Copies of this chain bind each other. A is one copy, B any other.
Amino acid sequence: MSTREIALEAKESSRACACTSLHVRNAALQTMADTLRAFAPDIIGQNERDMDAARKAGTVEPLLDRLLLNESRIEGMAQGLEDLAALPDPLGIIQHEGELDSGVRMQRISVPLGVVAMVYEARPNVTADAAGICVKTGNACILRGGSLAFYSNTFLARILHDAAVSAGMPKGCIRAIETTDRSVTDELLHMRGIIDVLIPRGGAGLIRHCVENATVPVIETGVGNCHVYVHAPADLAMARDIVMNGKCQRPGVCNAIESLLVDAAIADRALGAILPALAERGVTIHGDEESCAIAVGLGIPAVLATEDDWATEYLDLDISVKCVDGLDQAVDHIARYGTGHSEAIITSDQAAAEEFLSRVDAAAVYWNASTRFTDGGQFGLGAEIGISTQKLHARGPFALEALTSYKYVLRGTGQVRA
- A residues whose Cβ falls under 8 Å from a Cβ of B: 15, 18-19, 98, 100-102, 104, 106, 111, 113-114, 192, 196-197, 211-215, 217, 235, 238, 241-242, 244-246, 249, 335, 353, 357-359, 361-370, 372-374, 378-380, 390-393, 395-396, 405-417
How far is it, in angstroms, between the C-alpha of A365 and the C-alpha of B111 when the chains are bound?
Answer: 13
Taking a contact as CB atoms under 8 Å apart, the answer to whether B18 and A412 are in contact is no
- Jot down 10 A-B pairs with beta carbons below 8 A, ordered by A: A19-B359, A100-B380, A104-B369, A104-B373, A245-B417, A368-B412, A369-B410, A370-B416, A372-B416, A395-B405
Q: Is the interface of A mostly helix, strand, loop or mixed?
A: mixed
Return chain B residues, CB-CB under 8 Å to A359.
15, 18-19
Residues of B contacting A379 with CB < 8 Å?
Answer: 100, 106, 408
B396 lies within 8 A of A407 (CB)? yes
B369–A412 touching, CB < 8 Å: yes
Q: Are A363 and B407 in contact (CB under 8 A)?
A: yes
| Ranked 10 nearest A-B pairs via Cβ | A369-B412, A245-B416, A391-B405, A372-B417, A393-B393, A238-B414, A364-B408, A370-B416, A392-B393, A217-B392
B417–A373 contact, CB under 8 A? yes
List chain B residues, Cβ under 8 A from A217. 217, 390-392
Q: A15-B359, A15-B361, A357-B409 are in contact. Are A414 and B235 (CB under 8 A)?
A: yes
Interface centre among A18, A245, A393 (most CB of B within 10 A): A393
Asked if B365 contacts A98 (CB within 8 A), the reply is no
Out of B364, B405, B417, name the residue touching A249 (CB < 8 Å). B417
